[in-house]
Amino acid sequence: MSKILVTGGLGFIGSHTVVELQNEGYDVVIIDDLSNSTIDVLDKITSITGIKPDYFNIDLKVKSSVQDFFKNNKIDGIIHFAASKAVGESVQKPLEYYENNIGSLVYLLQEMKATNVNNFIFSSSCTVYGQADELPITEDAPIKPAESPYGNTKQIGEEIIKDSTKVSDIKAIALRYFNPVGAHPSTKIGELPIGVPQNLIPFVTQTAARIREQLSVFGSDYETPDGTAVRDYIHVVDLAKAHIVALQRLLKNKNKSNFEVFNIGTGKGNSVLEVIKAFEKVTGKKLNYKLVDRRPGDITAAYADTTLATKELGWKPELTLEDALLSAWKWQETL
């Protein structure tokens, strides 16, 4: 069976993807520097699948460490999650974001080329579209100037990969995620926000758990049916499965070009108020929330056209927003 390197494999999306890879019989090796994850996730993954993945605590910003890893490990493909992802923090610390997200990507690609590892899946984001002119958003929608250094690292990252595929045997797929939410049905792994959550769903579950007093709904004067902003919330288990089919496409040489891009979302947009109502309905918990000003940098609405992923990858989401919210709540209750 193929051996797959998952960088950032102890993080939120990474850990769910490791579980799905193991369920499909892949041999998994994780690199994670624990900068935004904890080592106990390794045991949690093991308890879900019954198989302990290989694990290395390697800082991918250290080129010699990346070289050593590739010298000592025979890898068939890479799913690259390891990156910093806090939008606000990236504005404060742009150079750290460029060093971490771009430096590590360059070193990985260099070692892939040097050691003939040719299959690469990249964590990209719908943030590359900014506020798209047309909804739902297709992969052909123009890339808008990034709102933050974080968003810029995703745009630049895609370009670096695309350029690399032109001068090597590397084949790559960038998956542009919409808003990943939810947790594993086992309730053993989920999203672990450090400090005050910036994203909606962790803030919702922490408010319901009375860790936060009140949820602020950022903006109620958007041009949307109820005035609150609209996003495409994709269950992390469905998202994880998209990585497996994308990887299989490369391993079987089914790709149509050496750099491909797919949107991964549900195709449905939900407003913040709809999310709140759905959460209250599935959990039976009342949420204390108030409408406040817009959050700077936020867009009005984004949801995916997932036609291409369905056609080319044979992938479609199976879980609903309600499934995601209930699993996020059950996960919260374990914390």
Active site residues: 150
Integer Cα distance of 116 and 75 in angstroms: 9
Residues 6+ apart with CB under 8 A from 320: 235
CB-nearer residue toward ligand UD1: 139 or 298:
298
CB of 227 to ligand UD1, least distance (A): 11
Of 225 and 314, nearer to ligand UD1 (C-beta) is 225
Residue 138: phi, psi to the nearest 5?
Answer: -95, 170
Q: Which stretch binds ligand UD1 (CB under 6 A): 64-72, 167-175, 194-202, 240-248?
A: 194-202
**β-strand partners of 241:** none
* Residue 24 or 139 having the CB closest to ligand UD1: 139
Stretch that binds ligand UD1, among 18-26, 167-175, 192-200, 238-246 (CB under 6 A): 192-200
Nearer to ligand UD1, 41 or 87 (CB): 87
Instruction: Choose between 43 and 134: whose C-beta lies nearer to ligand UD1.
Output: 134
Q: Any contact of residue 85 with ligand UD1 (CB under 6 A)? A: yes
If one asks whether residue 110 binds ligand UD1 (CB under 6 A), the answer comes out as no
Q: Which is nearer to ligand UD1, 51 or 211 (CB)?
A: 211
Burial class (CB in 10 A: 0-12, 13-18, 19+), 250: buried
Among 4, 200, 234, 237, binds ligand UD1 (CB under 6 A): 200
Q: Does 325 bind ligand UD1 (CB under 6 A)?
A: no
- Under DSSP, the state recorded for 9 is T
Dihedral sign computed on CA atoms, order 253, 256, 258, 260: negative
141 is a contact residue toward ligand UD1 (CB under 6 A): no
Interacting residue with ligand UD1 among 70, 203, 259, 331 (CB under 6 A): 203
Q: Is 216 in the site for ligand UD1 (CB under 6 A)?
A: yes
Residue from 179, 224, 283, 332 binding ligand UD1 (CB under 6 A): 179
Rg (CA), the chain: 19
Pick from 59, 96, 99, 298: which binds ligand UD1 (CB under 6 A)? 298
Q: Residue 329: which of 278, 292, 290, 295 has the closest Cα? A: 278
Sign of CA dihedral 72, 73, 79, 85: negative
Residues 230-269 that bind ligand UD1 (CB under 6 A): 231
Of the pair 54, 298, the CB lying nearest ligand UD1 is at 298
Size of interface with ligand UD1, in residues (CB under 6 A): 21
* DSSP sequence for 182-249: ---TTSS------SS--SHHHHHHHHHTTSSS-EEEE-S-SSSTTSS-EE-EEEHHHHHHHHHHHHHH
Can you tell me the distance from the alpha carbon of 29 to that of 75, in angstroms, rounded to the nearest whole number?
9
Q: Which of 29, 58, 78, 217 contacts ligand UD1 by CB under 6 A?
A: 217
Rounded Cα distance between 96 and 191, Å, is 23
Query: Using the rule CB under 6 A, is 300 a contact of ligand UD1?
Result: no
Q: In the set 110, 199, 255, 310, which binds ligand UD1 (CB under 6 A)?
A: 199
Q: Annotate 141-185 with DSSP letters as a single string.
A: SPPPPPSSHHHHHHHHHHHHHHHHHHTSS-EEEEEEE-EEE---T
Cα–Cα nearest to 317, from 244, 282, 267: 267
The answer to whether 97 contacts ligand UD1 (rule: CB under 6 A) is: no
Q: In this structure, are residues 24 and 243 in contact, taking their beta carbons and an 8 Å threshold?
A: no
Question: Nearest 5°: phi and psi at 80?
Answer: -105, 100
Q: Binding of ligand UD1 at residue 320 (CB under 6 A)?
A: no
- Which stretches of the chain bind ligand UD1, using CB under 6 A? 85, 87, 125, 127, 147-148, 179, 198-200, 203, 215-218, 229, 231, 272, 295, 298-299
